[in-house]
């Protein structure tokens, strides 16, 4: 049995689905069902005895103690988090509460639980904490990618809340001997992501014939990682990582935001043309107006830059590759087409308030 926090979120629901597709081992899914949760993504698990859903908050220590005592999980996969930078800039308190204090409460509950368990069970236990490349702050155009020993330089409240959580995880390993693992993922995308995130927002805007708002000059660089590859990295770290270690998870597909929109426009055009040839637009979804990469600027609306906007992220993930054998497998254009296909197949899945 493993305990997954945030298992109804974007990465969390994919983790739950992929885990149960490849493992017989059951899991408990603890999720507070905040605005970004997608419990409908787990509809296929209804009635599956391997999946136990619990509606609750990671800051609820009594609930955590009860779950750990009842299920005695061999691992905690901690994915619950507030993640959207714009929301953190508007109000950082929810991020400090969930990302930092929530992680601390979970660590304290795990440590207390292990103290009551046999030594062999405690030694085999793992606490996997999912973090972000944003803790490293902004890189210059010629700076080398950050390895696991790069200094933390968070520049926005979201990154600060995750950096603080990372430090608590490391401290509990050193002070209490808790068998922890930390992964730092790059920008993750894929089917079912909330529309506040750039890829999902851009797809919904372009399909509606509207321009995509981009901050500043659109030249901020992000490394894109498909959610399936991210989940595979989490599983690899859980199963083959060394307690007390941190692992970077990179997609090796760094693009400016402008370049990303160009790839998305092409993906949408290719997918919609394929559907036209087959005589379907995807459950009545309107097709995008004709667009090509040569005319990408017609799909861009530049807006005032975000405060503290990091210019570039890049990570060195050779440690994870060498220790676990993991490597990303999904090329960006293939992953973007899959994401576009999901949007066309599921009307309304990408609807909602714009993030910008």
Which residues carry out catalysis? 133-134, 158
Helices 102-115 and 61-71: angle between axes, nearest 10 degrees: 40
Dist CA 91 CA 97 (whole Å): 11
Q: Is 61 in a helix, a strand, or coil?
A: helix
- Report how far Cα 116 is from the mean position of its chain's Cα atoms: 32
Q: Is the dihedral of CA 180, 231, 143, 218 positive or negative?
A: negative
Residue 332's H or E segment, with its range, is helix 332-345
* Residue count (the chain): 356
Q: Is 172 in a helix, a strand, or coil?
A: helix
Give the count of beta carbons closer than 10 Å to the beta carbon of residue 45.
Answer: 16
Q: Please, is 171 exposed, middle or buried when counting C-beta atoms within 10 Å of its C-beta (0-12, 13-18, 19+)?
A: middle
Dist CA 72 CA 341 (whole Å): 40
Q: Which residues, 6 or more positions from 139, have their beta carbon under 8 angstroms from its beta carbon?
A: 145, 146, 311, 312, 313, 314
Dist CA 211 CA 233 (whole Å): 34
Q: Retrieve residue 44's tokens.
A: 């296929």
DSSP string, 249-304: E--S-EEEHHHHHHHHHHHHHHHHHHHHHHT--STTPPPPPP--GGGGGGGEEEEP
């Amino acid at each position: 049995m493993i305990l997954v926090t945030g298992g109804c979120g974007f990465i969390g629901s994919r983790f739950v689905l992929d885990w149960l597709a490849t493992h017989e081992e059951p899991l408990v899914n603890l999720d507070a069902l905040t605005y970004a949760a997608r419990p409908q993504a787990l509809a296929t698990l209804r009635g599956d005895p391997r999946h136990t859903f619990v509606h609750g908050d990671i800051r609820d220590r009594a609930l955590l103690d009860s779950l750990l005592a009842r299920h005695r999980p061999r691992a905690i996969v901690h994915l619950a988090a507030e993640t959207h930078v714009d929301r953190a800039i508007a109000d950082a308190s929810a991020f400090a509460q969930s990302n930092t204090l929530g992680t601390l409460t979970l660590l304290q509950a795990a440590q207390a639980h292990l103290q009551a368990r046999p030594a062999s069970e405690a030694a085999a236990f793992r606490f996997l904490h999912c973090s972000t490349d944003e803790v490293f702050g902004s890189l210059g155009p010629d700076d080398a990618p950050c390895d696991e020993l790069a200094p933390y330089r968070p520049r926005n409240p979201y990154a600060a809340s995750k950096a603080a959580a990372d430090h608590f995880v490391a401290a509990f390993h050193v002070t209490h001997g808790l068998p922890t693992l930390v992964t730092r993922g790059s920008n993750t995308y894929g089917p079912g992501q909330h529309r506040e995130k750039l890829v999902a927002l851009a797809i919904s805007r372009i399909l509606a014939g509207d321009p995509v708002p981009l901050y500043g000059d659109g030249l901020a660089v992000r490394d894109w990682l498909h959610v399936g590859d991210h989940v595979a990295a989490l599983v690899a770290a859980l199963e083959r990582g060394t307690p007390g270690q941190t692992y970077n998870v990179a997609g090796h597909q760094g693009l400016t935001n402008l370049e990303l929109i160009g790839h998305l426009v092409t993906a949408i055009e290719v997918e919609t043309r394929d559907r036209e040839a087959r005589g379907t637009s995807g459950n009545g979804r309107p097709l995008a107006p004709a667009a090509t990469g040569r005319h990408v600027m017609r799909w861009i609306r530049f807006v005032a830059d975000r405060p503290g906007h990091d210019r570039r992220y890049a990570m060195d993930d050779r440690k994870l590759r060498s220790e676990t054998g993991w490597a990303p497998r999904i090329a960006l254009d293939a992953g973007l087409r899959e994401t576009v296909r999901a949007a066309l197949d599921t009307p309304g899945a990408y609807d909602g308030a714009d993030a910008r």
